[in-house]
Structure 1
Amino acid sequence: MLIHNFVGTFYVRLEAKLEARFDTWLDATSYAKIRNKKFTTLDTILEPRLNTMMEACLEARMKCKVGSKVEARLGCKI
């Protein structure tokens, strides 16, 4: 549950920073890789698991083209 909450928070920050939907899967993964370099120590420990979950969330969002943050979170449940 802690990991899920952490990923949810990260995902909202990621979406807010971009202020728009991802146009392609490549854009999403490229941005995620850049963002991963700014993680704290705790984030670095969780990075392998977080990357997997975040990519699953981004892929789900790309497939369903969800518009609202609430729907995006529901589509991204791990």
Structure 2
Amino acid sequence: MKRFEVGDRVRIDIPDTDDPDFDRYHERTGKVYEVIEDDAGEATGDERDSYLFSVEFENGDSDHFRWRDLRPAPEK
């Protein structure tokens, strides 16, 4: 069960301020440009973890996120 698809606008939501990615990504918005399937869901027991979402930001930076760090982006 994928929560997001290619082309979806998303907002990064990292609630843990101690997370090393918090300052870099929290509350940034971008667009999903690729969905990669892996076997992480087998290790965690949650099939949603089997998807890694590649997100590109407006400045051209990109990175990969799991479903729990993504929310739908607010409408512009």
Higher-RCO chain (CA-CA 8 Å, sequence separation at least 6): 1
* TM-score, with length taken from structure 2: 0.27
* TM-score, with length taken from structure 1: 0.26
Higher share of residues assigned helix:
1
